[in-house]
Structure formats: C-alpha cells, structure tokens
C-alpha cells in the first residue's frame, strides 16, 4: 500500500475532502465534527477502499486529490479494457485487495492486538497547536476498531475476515480438482 494512506482520514475529517465517496456511503465530511469518534470506523473502511484504487490501478494517488473520483476511474478502466465497470465494482475490487492483504498479514502472524496506535498518538500532544485541545485525544479506539471490523465483515474478537465475507468477495479457498 501507499505511504500516504493515513492521510485519508485526516484529509476527510479535517480537510473536508470526500473524493466523490459520499455517493458510495462515506458521510459528508462537512457534517462530521473533526474529533467525534462515532462512525469513523465505518468511514475509514470506505475511505480505504476508495483511496486504495490508485495503488491497485498503478497510478498516482494525487490524481484523486486533484478531483479524479472512483467513478472517473471506473470510466477509464471501462474505456481501456472494454469491461463494463462502475464505481461500486471498483470499490469491490479494492475491498477484495484489502481483505487479501489482511489474510496475508494474518498468515504472517499479525493479530488484532497489532491493530493499535502508539500511546503518544492517542494522547494529548505535549507541545504544539493541539497541546491544549483535549478533544484531540483518542477516547475509544476499541469502539472505532470494532466498528471498522463490523463494516469490513471481520470477526470482532480476532480481526480475521469471516467466511461469509470471504464468500461474498469470492475469496474462499478452493480445493484443486483431484
């Protein structure tokens, strides 16, 4: 994935950039209070699906910061390949990729306990602009993580994609014919 993935959440809730994803389920960033945590797990999952597309398509993510949306990418893919695709189709491709990455990481030993932020990132900064902004402290990372897992279709206890999610994404293991 990309070195600027964490920017998506900040650019959405602070910068009020939606990349055309409100029509695909992310909340309008202009209607979300920056430090509110409720609903962010779901929004982050949708933002990740949308902003992973440039990586999947082999293009620069900054095109999206310049106004190219998921639906534009779908038009381009359709024109280039002859496949009829829309934004929802591409978001499903991205969701599959993110689930495959998760499965790879699980195979390599990553667990739910690794889905954490360092204490200094969750806490009030000791200096700077936000050092007197107590609302910027992460209050309930676990609830946001559970919300994220729920939206992703991952087990809340383990963070592992459920069999139902893998079947939905056509990612179930296949037994080779004998």
pLDDT, mean of each 10-residue run, the chain (178 residues): 71 91 96 92 94 93 92 97 96 97 95 92 91 92 96 96 96 74
Torsion (CA) 64, 65, 66, 68 in degrees, nearest 10: 20
Which CATH class name applies to 7-168?
mainly alpha
How much is the pLDDT for 7?
A: 76
How much is the pLDDT for 77?
A: 97
C-alpha closest to that of 42 among 154, 166, 161, 145: 145
How much is the pLDDT for 173?
A: 76
How much is the pLDDT for 1?
A: 53
| Angstrom distance (rounded) from CA 83 to CA 147 | 34
């Amino acid at each position: 994935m990309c070195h600027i993935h964490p920017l998506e959440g900040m650019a959405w809730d602070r910068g009020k950039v939606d990349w055309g994803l409100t029509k695909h389920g992310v909340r309008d960033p202009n209607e979300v209070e920056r430090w509110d945590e409720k609903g962010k797990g779901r929004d982050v999952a949708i933002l990740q699906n949308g902003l992973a597309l440039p990586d999947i398509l082999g293009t620069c993510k900054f095109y999206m910061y310049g106004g190219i949306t998921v639906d534009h990418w779908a038009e381009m893919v359709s024109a280039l390949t002859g496949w009829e695709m829309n934004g929802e189709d591409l978001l499903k491709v991205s969701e599959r990729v993110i689930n495959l990455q998760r499965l790879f990481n699980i195979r390599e030993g990553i667990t739910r306990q690794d889905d954490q932020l360092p204490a200094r990132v969750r806490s009030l900064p000791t200096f700077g602009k936000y050092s007197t902004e107590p609302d910027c402290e992460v209050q309930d990372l676990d609830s946001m993580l559970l919300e994220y897992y729920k939206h992703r279709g991952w087990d809340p206890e383990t963070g592992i994609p459920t069999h139902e999610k893998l079947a939905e994404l056509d990612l179930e293991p296949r037994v080779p014919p004998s």
